[in-house]
Amino acid sequence: MRTTGTSPLLPKEDAREAALFFVVCALCFLAALSGLVARSAYAAADSWTEQVTGQITIRVRGTDGDATRAVSLVSQTPGIRSAHVLARKEAEELLKPWLGASGVPADLPLPHLIAAEGSGNATGLGDALSKKLSGAGIDATVDDHVTWSQDVKRATDSAGLVALIAVALLGMTAIAVIAFATHATLLARKDIVELLHLSGARDSYISGLFEQRFLMLGVQAGAVGALLAFGAAAFILFVVKQSDQRIWLLPQLSLSLADGLILGLAPLLAGVAAMLAAKVTVLRSLSDMV
């Protein structure tokens, strides 16, 4: 004989809750994935900017002597840590992606390229070098990559912002869906709510039953969604590594501690959102009762 009073006061989940589980799971998957994309976009922006900051490329049109003189002038400029002329082989290596593995014909003249490195906080070096080289009668173009790196940063920041907006929208959608589903569940459980109410249960006691139920539902559905997002991210990484391709943002997509935090937070946030939605809905319904 069983005769114990330990059965939960709310019946086990029904089809409505299964549907809600699926919806929360899908929303969490999308939110976690968007979160990962946002983080990777910002990480990419930082990484790429960091890589080009202080790097200056100078193209000298002239003789070897002009190039040597330019290196000397550049090296003496305050804020420049080092400068050297790229050997023909190094220049050919840079051109490989455009000209192919067959390389550059030996008789094709290449501009002299100088790679200089400025200290990270030196600003306006590009303009100063341009003036200095021009003043010395050297025909040269100075590229400090500022424009390019700013474009990259703007693009990655925009991508990150879009992803963050997507996360926020998905979060709000999740809360609205959960509130709607809680309300529907509550209507289906109105008999239980009213019986508990008339048996002397406090509002917080009744609300607590639903909060506990929906917290667990949110956390479980969120955990499944986050796991799927982790799987999707891992799959993308695997594909990228297998194909040995460098695709714009994807090289930055790594499963780091920050990603782990995003994946871990998603179910917690889903659970808390579900719990709060349940609390508000139940207390509002109870306030209609005497």
Partner 1 sequence: MPERDERFDEPAVRFDRVSLSYGPEADVLADVSLQLKPGSMTFLTGPSGAGKSTLLRLAYLALRPSTGRVSLFGIDTGKLNRPTLARLRRRIGVVFQEFRLLEHLTAYENVALPLRVNGDQEKRYRDDVVDLLKWVGLGDRLDARPATLSGGEKQRVAIARAVVVKPDLIIADEPTGNVDEEMGERLLRLFRELNRRLGTTLLIATHDLNMVRKAKADVLRLADGMVVRVAAPPPAVEEAPA
Q: Which residue ranges make up the site for partner 1 (CB under 8 A)?
A: 1-7, 9, 11-12, 191-192, 194-203, 205, 289-290
Shortest reach from residue 25's CB to partner 1, in Å = 25
28 or 196: whose CB is closer to partner 1?
196
β-bridge partners, 257: none
Instruction: Give CA separation, 228 vs 63, 222, 263, in Å.
Output: 60, 10, 10
Shortest reach from residue 277's CB to partner 1, in Å = 21
Shortest reach from residue 20's CB to partner 1, in Å = 19
Shortest reach from residue 208's CB to partner 1, in Å = 12
Question: In the 8-state DSSP scheme, what is residue 250?
Answer: G
Question: Can you point out the beta strands (E) in the chain?
Answer: 55-60, 80-85, 112-118, 140-143
Q: Edge-to-edge strands of the sheet including 112-118?
A: 80-85, 112-118, 55-60, 140-143
12 or 246: whose CB is closer to partner 1?
12
11 or 103: whose CB is closer to partner 1?
11
Shortest reach from residue 223's CB to partner 1, in Å = 26
Shortest reach from residue 188's CB to partner 1, in Å = 12
Please, what is the angle between helix 146-188 and helix 15-52, to 10°?
170
6 or 102: whose CB is closer to partner 1?
6
Distance CA 232, CA 32 (A): 10
| 253 residue type, one letter | L
94 or 201: whose CB is closer to partner 1?
201
Q: Give the residue among 37, 30, 32 at the shortest CA–CA distance from 159.
A: 37
β-bridge partners, 115: 57, 84
258 or 283: whose CB is closer to partner 1?
283
